[in-house]
Amino acid sequence: MASRSISHARFAFPAPMAVLQLLKPITWFAPMWAYGCGIVSSGQSIEGRWVEFIAGVLLCGPFVCGTSQAVNDWFDRHVDAINEPQRPIPSGRIPGRWGLFIAIAWTAASMMLAMLLGPWGFGATLVGLALAWAYSAPPFRLKRNGWWGNSAVGVCYEGLPWITGAAVIATAMPAPHILLVAALYSLGAHGIMTLNDFKSVDGDRAMGIDSLPVLLGVERAARVACAVMALPQCIVIGLLVAWGAPWHAGAVVALLIVQLGLMIRLLDSPRVRAPWYNATGTTLYVLGMLATAHALAGAA
């Protein structure tokens, strides 16, 4: 009787809601927003390009980002059993090896969808998927070091979708100033990812994952995160002024000033207030991305 129960659990199918939770819809917003910023920055109209627009939004969000979440949760299941045992895999709501099967299937589905975006979109998708697996899976497991791992995530969440949006709509390599701005906002996203690591300090330390809060301590990592988020925006402001977009630069300045005020409160209790900052300061950060994208469109 016991062996039949174990066998039944092994071949049980995960509930659809558990799968959706595994793919973490809340994380899809950032890359979808960056893809939209890339389109705006190109200065090209999406009229007659709705297939590419919709496919790109789906690819950046539910597919590539969803894949990265499934991959991460599968290879982090032992850490999550310490930090967040209620997650779908450690809780058993996604049983057996279904987490791995979903990650592989979603990778294949992402590549199929990317074929609708031409060579630029397909190539960017392959890079994004490679980074998603390298971040979480051995032998690379970039997340074992907070400097490398958060850099990979920043590229996947901000820079790569931005470049993809600009390239797919324009059907060409984006202009150098677009590439530069996308790289700067990717760098800033490194700080956002560091704040996200505060929730898992105990499990990371126990499992030998050197996130920045583990390497530097929570307080020092919070200061580094704030500096990494603010400095690229300062550079963007200077570039916008140099490129003849003072009003857009002013908008980014205003958004950054509010962020700095929020950072001061964050630093009072970084581990407690990191989720709060990610819901407030990060929103202002991405609004600055859109203002910058409009400035680039005017210069196109």
Count CA atoms closer than 13 A to 195's CA, side-chain side. 27
Please tell me the predicted confidence (pLDDT) of residue 92.
94
Confidence band, pLDDT 50/70/90 cuts, at residue 10: low
Q: Is residue 1 one of the residues assigned to a domain?
A: no
CA-CA distance, 147 to 265, in Å (whole number)?
Answer: 24
Angstrom CA distances, 22 to 62, 129, 156, 274, stand at: 11, 17, 18, 22
Domain that holds residue 130: 14-299
Task: Look at residues 219, 143, 157, 164 and name the one whose alpha carbon lies nearest to residue 188.
Answer: 157
Structural domain contains residue 7: no
Contact present, 256 and 300 (Cβ < 8 Å): no
Backbone angles phi, psi at 218, to 5 degrees: -60, -45
User: Can you tell me the distance from the alpha carbon of 205 to that of 217, in angstroms, rounded to the nearest whole number?
Assistant: 11
Instruction: Tell me the β-bridge partners of 210.
Output: 145
In sequence order, the β-bridge partners of residue 145 are 210
Asked whether residue 8 is domain-assigned, the answer is: no
Question: Does residue 245 belong to any structural domain of this protein?
Answer: yes
Answer yes or no: is 4 within a domain: no
Q: What amino acid occupies position 35?
A: Y
Tokens of 185: 């906002």
Judged by phi (left if over 0) then psi (alpha if -120 to 50, else beta), residue 21 lies in alpha
Query: If you ran DSSP here, which 8-state letter would residue 27 be given?
Result: G
| Residue 40 burial (CB count, 10 A) | 23
The answer on pLDDT for 299 being more than 90 is: no
Share of the chain above pLDDT 70, in %: 96
Q: What is the pLDDT of residues 189-223, one digit of tens each?
A: 999 999 999 988 888 888 888 999 999 999 999 99
The confidence band for 160, taking pLDDT boundaries of 50, 70 and 90, is very high
The stretch 51-57 carries a mean pLDDT of 94
Residue 3 domain flag: no
d(CA 266, CA 218): 11
DSSP codes of every residue in 32-72: HHHHHHHHHHHT---TT-HHHHHHHHHIIIIIIIHHHHHHH
Residues 6+ apart with CB under 8 A from 300: 41, 42, 43, 44, 175
pLDDT, one tens digit per residue, over 72-129 is 999 999 888 888 899 999 999 999 999 999 999 999 999 999 999 999 999 999 999 9
Query: What is the C-alpha separation between 105 and 126, in angstroms, rounded?
Result: 15
**C-alpha–C-alpha distance, residues 93 and 17, integer Å:** 9
Q: Any idea what the CATH number is for the domain that residue 246 is in?
A: 1.10.600
* Tally of structural domains, the chain: 1
252 within a domain of the structure (yes/no):
yes
Question: In sequence order, which residues have a C-beta less than 8 Å from that of residue 199 and are 6 or more positions away?
Answer: 83, 84, 274, 275
- Tokens at 5, concatenated: 């129960």
20 domain-assigned: yes
Residue 208, number of CB atoms within 10 A of its CB? 9
Q: Between helices 176-196 and 146-154, what is the axis angle to 10°?
A: 130
Whole-prediction pTM: 0.92
CB 75 within 8 A of CB 141: yes
Which pLDDT belongs to residue 6? 41
d(CA 205, CA 225): 19
Q: Are 93 and 64 in contact (CB under 8 A)?
A: no
The alpha carbon of 272 is separated from its chain's Cα centroid by a whole number of angstroms, namely 21
